[in-house]
Chain A
Amino acid sequence: MKVLAIALNTFREAIRDRILYLLLVFAVLLIGSSRALSLLTVGSEEKIVKDIGLAAISLFGVATAIFVGVGLVFKEIEKRTIYTLVSKPIVRSHFILGKYLGLVLVLAVNVSIMTACFYGLLLVKGWADAAIASAVFLTLVELLLVTAIAIFFSSFSTPILSSLFTVTAYVIGHVSWGLLMLAERVNGLGRGICHALYWCLPNLERLNVRGMVVHGADVPLDQVLTATVYGVSYTIIVLGLAMMMFRRRDFL
């Protein structure tokens, strides 16, 4: 109930902020214009439209997760609204969880609107298929994780640094699979380090099936399930760390 109150308040704050609408309109415009862009490029029109549409959903989702996420906790401290909040009968981890769930709700609504526009376009062209849903679903799981990372950094750092750290984590998350390839080429300690880093760093490519979908490949259900379990587990760990960091923080 208390977590829900904080989540709904966070949601309300976001939907009353015009910047979010601007991002959403821009994303919907990009999805809409993918048809026009496909005419200007060489290759399959269907692939281009799907590629741009899925990329737009992911990109604008990640942008929202990072740039709203890093400010969520900081703004409460900066504007001193946290004083009256934390002095009420709530535990600090409820605050973090409420903030997180509020932003997840915003992202879910955003992604739904973008997906509805995208799907509408595909239906008109007769290109709609179930695989698209898998790609969008795993994009949403990726957003859950990126949001948790943004909140984790913002629980002890400034928005600018948190943005930098989160964007870095996002980029690393998409190339960390390379560590496994590197591990095969080195021996001894180097291999151990590569493996340790691979298991510590997020592997966001596990949640990216957009390439497969664009090229018409089927996404097996077990792959979607294991990727979801991976993403959600990683999210829970990162959120737990954020709560630990926040538990003993002084609000000056």
Chain B
Amino acid sequence: MTVLAIEGLRKSYKGHLSITTREVIRGLDLTIERGEVFGLLGQNGAGKTTTIKMILSLIFPDAGTIRIFGEPNSSVTVRARVGFLPENPYFYEYLTGVEFLDFYGRLFGYGRAERERRAARVLALVGMTERAAMPLRKYSKGMLQRIGMAQALINDPEFVILDEPMSGLDPIGRREFRDIILDLKARGSTVFFSSHILSDAEAICDRVGILKDGRIGTCGRLADLLTSSVKSWEVTFAGPTFASLQLNGFSGSLLSARGDESLVRVDVEADLARLLDAVRARAGRLIAVAGRRDTLEDLYLREVAPAP
């Protein structure tokens, strides 16, 4: 079942004094299926937040359609099934954590007992039960991110939209957020999130899309986009210098040399055998041979790097 379907989305912003316009999104198409964790990647200013805001009807597209669960995204009933955590969230700082979640619970029309039950559940989920009585103005950035996640999940949403959810979190917090997202997926929710932290995206996404020039350039399952075979090797050896091996027509290069240790990249398998033989022939000591696979970072850099 399709959870999100975007077709031909366009959005431009007016410049200074409304004389100039800058088209940020230029014909974006995207489909997200139920149960997926989708990562929207792109450089700063690529239009990730603009896209998310259009999905949530916070801003309106110049052209194109957005449907969530088959209904127009402006539908109020659809929004009851969606959870949203904005980037660097700001909240009513005069409220305590409990009052804050109670307020959002009211916006879904829940009764008092239901609100209390749901608030307790999401507070426990984001590890904020102990700080729930504190006013939000005393929260750290990471705590605000957590309570923000709690309000996004108060309605037990089927579709969760997270804008840069890991920003502002320490490594432990990032790990916990990753676990929360994976837990959402395990319970059948669909997750759409934007990020520029590629390691997080690689760890939790089923599919990624890279936003470039206002469109989704590369999009697909990580397993399909990243070749699983080893692309190159890194060989560390001690003893002879790389130059002294005199390998003619060698496909790799010396990456670093420290003391009598050398680190060499090898691009072709046949050259790997030649290098190992040469090291042994010179009575060198082999320290490590590591195969390097394609990473999301490699793919991302290939996609967003400006054309030469």
**Chains A and B come from one and the same complex:** yes
Interface, chain A (partner B; CB < 8 A): 1-2, 4-6, 9, 12-13, 16-17, 79-91, 248, 250-252
Interface, chain B (partner A; CB < 8 A): 13, 53, 56-60, 76-77, 79-80, 82, 84-86, 88-92, 94-95, 99, 103-104, 106-109, 148, 151-152
A5 CB, nearest partner CB in chain B, Å: 4
Q: List 9 A-B contacts (CB under 8 A).
A: A2-B106, A6-B107, A13-B92, A84-B148, A85-B107, A87-B57, A89-B80, A248-B60, A251-B53
Let me know if B79 and A88 touch, CB within 8 A.
yes
Let me know if B90 and A79 touch, CB within 8 A.
yes
Least CB separation from A5: chain B residue: B106
B296 CB, nearest partner CB in chain A, Å: 28
Bound CA–CA A252/B13 (angstroms)? 10
A15 CB, nearest partner CB in chain B, Å: 9
Task: List chain B residues, Cβ under 8 A from A86.
Answer: 56-58
Given the known inter-chain contacts A2-B106, A251-B53, please indicate yes or no for A84 contacting B79, CB distance below 8 A.
no
Bound CA–CA A1/B107 (angstroms)? 8
Least CB separation from A16: chain B residue: B94
Bound CA–CA A91/B76 (angstroms)? 7
Task: List chain A residues, Cβ under 8 A from B60.
Answer: 248, 250
Least CB separation from B79: chain A residue: A89
Bound CA–CA A13/B93 (angstroms)? 9
A40 CB, nearest partner CB in chain B, Å: 42
Bound CA–CA A89/B154 (angstroms)? 13
Let me know if A87 and B79 touch, CB within 8 A.
yes
Let me know if B104 and A84 touch, CB within 8 A.
yes
Most chain B CB inside 10 Å of its own CB: which residue of A9, A13, A90: A9
Most chain B CB inside 10 Å of its own CB: which residue of A13, A82, A83, A88: A88
Bound CA–CA A97/B99 (angstroms)? 21
Bound CA–CA A251/B56 (angstroms)? 11
